[in-house]
Amino acid sequence: MTRSRPRVGPLAATADRAPRLDVDALIDDPGTGIIVCCGSGGVGKTTTSAALALRAAERGRRVVVLTIDPARRLAQSMGIETLDNTPRPVVGVGPGSLDAMMLDMKRTFDEVVLSQATPEKARAILDNPFYIALSSSFSGTQEYMAMEKLGQVHRQAQAEGTYDLIVVDTPPSRSALDFLDAPERLSSFLDGRFIRLLLAPAKGPARLMTAGLGLVTNALTKILGAQVLRDMQTFVAAFDTLFGGFRQRAETTFSLLQAPGTAFLVIAAPEPDALREASYFVERLTEDEMPLAGLVVNRASPAARTDLSADEAVAAADRLSRTSEGSTTAGLLRLHADRVRMVEREAHLRERWATAHPEVATTVVPAMATDVHDLEGLRRIGDLLAGTVTDRVDRAG
Amino acid sequence: MSPVHGGAPAGNRRSDWRGVDLHVVTGKGGTGKSTVAAALALALASTGKNVLLCEVEGRQGIARMFDVEPLPYEERRIARGLPLGDVAPGAVNALHIDPESALLEYLSMYYKLGRAGKALDRFGIIDFATTIAPGVRDVLLTGKVYEAVQRNARNKSATVYDAVVLDAPPTGRITQFLNVNGELAGLAKVGPIKAQADTVMTLFRSPRTVVHLVTVLEEMPVTETVDGIADLREARLPVGGVVINMVRPRDLGPADLAAARAGTLDREAVAADLSRAGVEVSHELVDSLLEEARDHAARRGLEDSQREVVEALDVPSYELPRMPGGIDLGGLYELAARMREQGLA
């Protein structure tokens, strides 16, 4: 091997020529009001969000972290038995403060309905079978509600001065960009002809039933059955007056995300799929002029402290095994070869990624052997994120 | 559908899942569920079955794994199983299911809509159904999977498969995904949708379907697997096996692991061995090897404790090794062979 040995930690990012992501500068900047963590599933998004929020709070910010994932252990690590729709204070944090909450999709939806509609109309909506299915069990609603909740928390923070930083974890959807698409989808739906079609019969005037509409209504009745169509129509009619407010708030939240006070962090793992998804996020965020702060690569394999290559190690292990079966040293050499191969592969993937996205600041966080069980564990991840500790090997137990 | 029960070649157990037509593979993000689904399709094909491998998340992961062009909404042959013993291997076909194509196909198969079909599109209803209307996506995706398992006369000249493998949404969403027809059946109390949803649920709840859960031996994925199994059982969906993926190499025996953990591995002996093997010995090298061993031993200890959790689940489990160089087509065949040895296929 002629190039310098692969290393994990902040040094690796500089070696890759990617600018290093300065996490502390980001969270210390009073101009940063919202941090959105996005990325594919299983890359440690929720943990990263919590660790960032805690670190910011301990550096003096007044923070609320909104998680989507119902990770009980994470809640417990913050000393909260179960997270819910109401922000709960995390004890033992200072000089700033940290509240944590988890999105309750149905309750958020219900609250919006209750706050926006007359009691009578709210009841009609809440009891509608189509609404019940929509708000509680169907996927996709989560993205709309995450947007809604973020807007709510932000408005409240502005009005009451409760928080100066909101850290948001995004839903584990197929593509978390569904989160960004929610307002536009809502708008295109509201402006679409379909909604007029659904509203037309409920509102009565038969003259609206043009030939096209009749054709479609008949087709829908045939496919869905009359009862489902009727439930949908009742729902849309009752909801009609609320749509405008929904759209307005969604659009406000969307422009809030584009504002300079927001920072997006793309979270990934050193795996082809996760990095591909990260590329997709970066491109999409750039396209929508969303402020991208950088990339966090979690779960990196810790590098070895020696230059001995994988091939050399395997060759030596084979020589030892020939003379003494079950040799401990041969085992050590094979383990070393395995680790070197993992580290090289990951470094290669990160380098290729950095070459394609040279402008994206990056920080690399080594894999932890255990999950986080307490605030101390979250602090440690915060240190690794900020690059203030550089221990390559995570010693567990 | 008539599964082929060929005699298992030497070295391979008989499959634990004989008589299963639909293998649903789920797992927490990052555990390698798509890899496991692909390898399972190869393993089933190696037993002589003709297999359809479906993906529903729009990622084109199958095309990448098998190194073929991105898949259209069309069944394509992508690989053959390995010839093992006297069983002639079957083929693996792949299908990338997207909701819009599934909806159009469904409409043309079941409803003669004619002009109304075009009107549905013009009114943005196709778009609404596949992107905006929550839940409809899942109904369409599971509906197509059902159609592939339960081929009928409406889909003329379609291939009939011995087994279908579904690379499904992740563990956190799997029960909702499979149960979406149940939800819909609850919503539509009568009518054609209700009938269709009920038929799909009957298949998913029958012994012809199993849901395998992929995990790695770490706390969060194992916890999610435990919760996922509870959710599936509550929804009366059949739980298959737990596939433990990316298991660390076992180059050290229990005694060495204990010594590595305690920091009592014999430095001098290691140094002597290294120089005997022709490696230039330095303090740094020996330190690094011992440190790596300690780290490995700690992680192996954690793996063992998580394995106990999985074993306590009363569900068959299967183990697949971690591939340090990543997964390529050869790697998939290797994993398929491990599955056959352990009776997953």
Interface predicted TM-score of the whole assembly (ipTM), two decimals = 0.85
Query: In the structure, what pLDDT confidence band is assigned to residue A367 with cuts at 50, 70 and 90?
Result: confident
Query: In the structure, what pLDDT confidence band is assigned to residue A210 with cuts at 50, 70 and 90?
Result: low
pLDDT of residue A241: 77
* Mean pLDDT, chain A, whole residue set: 84
Phi, psi of B10, rounded to the nearest 5 degrees: -55, 140
**A1 has pLDDT over 50:** no
Q: Which CATH class name applies to B22-248+322-340?
A: alpha beta
A345 closest CB neighbour out of B113, B115, B326 = B326
Query: In the structure, what pLDDT confidence band is assigned to residue B131 with cuts at 50, 70 and 90?
Result: low
**B201 has pLDDT over 70:** yes
What pLDDT digit, counting tens, does each position of B325-343 carry?
A: 788 999 999 999 999 999 9
**A324 has pLDDT over 90:** no
Burial class (CB in 10 A: 0-12, 13-18, 19+), B263: exposed
**A198 has pLDDT over 90:** no
Taking the CA atoms of residue A242, residue A248, residue A251 and residue A256 in that order, the dihedral angle to the nearest 10 degrees is -120
* CATH 3.40.50.300 is right for the domain spanning A10-386: yes
Size of interface A-B (CB pairs under 8 A): 238
Query: In the structure, what pLDDT confidence band is assigned to residue B231 with cuts at 50, 70 and 90?
Result: very high
Instruction: Confirm if B104 and B118 have CB atoms less than 8 A apart.
Output: no
Burial class (CB in 10 A: 0-12, 13-18, 19+), A129: middle
Instruction: Confirm if B113 and B136 have CB atoms less than 8 A apart.
Output: no
Structural domain boundaries of chain B? 22-248+322-340, 254-297
- Judged by CB atoms closer than 8 Å, whether chains meet at A273 and B61 is answered as yes
* Mean pLDDT, chain B, whole residue set: 88
Q: Which two tokens stand for residue B330?
A: 């050869």
pLDDT of residue B8: 44
**B257 has pLDDT over 90:** yes
Query: In the structure, what pLDDT confidence band is assigned to residue B2 with cuts at 50, 70 and 90?
Result: very low
Minimal-distance CA residue of chain A relative to B107: A223
Distance from CA of B312 to the nearest CA of A (A): 20
- Judged by CB atoms closer than 8 Å, whether chains meet at A224 and B115 is answered as no
Which bin fits A378, alpha (ψ -120 to 50), beta or left (φ > 0)? alpha
**A84 has pLDDT over 90:** no
- Judged by CB atoms closer than 8 Å, whether chains meet at B326 and A227 is answered as no
Structural domain boundaries of chain A? 10-386
B116 closest CB neighbour out of A216, A273, A345 = A216
Determine what percent of chain A is predicted with pLDDT higher than 70: 86
Distance from CA of B337 to the nearest CA of A (A): 21
Query: In the structure, what pLDDT confidence band is assigned to residue B7 with cuts at 50, 70 and 90?
Result: very low
Q: Which helix (H) or strand (E) holds A344?
A: helix A328-356
- H helix runs in B191-276, sequence order: 192-204, 219-234, 254-262, 267-276
Question: d(Cα A372, Cα A333) in Å, to the nearest integer?
Answer: 31
What pLDDT digit, counting tens, does each position of B40-82 carry?
A: 999 999 999 999 999 998 888 999 999 999 999 999 999 999 8
What pLDDT digit, counting tens, does each position of A10-23 carry?
A: 444 444 567 999 99
* pTM, entire model: 0.88
**A51 has pLDDT over 70:** yes
Query: In the structure, what pLDDT confidence band is assigned to residue B304 with cuts at 50, 70 and 90?
Result: very high
- Judged by CB atoms closer than 8 Å, whether chains meet at B285 and A306 is answered as yes
What pLDDT digit, counting tens, does each position of A329-358 carry?
A: 999 999 999 999 999 999 999 999 999 999
Instruction: Confirm if B1 and B162 have CB atoms less than 8 A apart.
Output: yes
Minimal-distance CA residue of chain B relative to A315: B277
pLDDT of residue A21: 95
Q: Which two tokens stand for residue B139?
A: 């109904």
Q: What is the DSSP string of A85-126?
A: SS-EEPTT--SSEEEEEE--HHHHHHHHHHHHS-HHHHHHHH
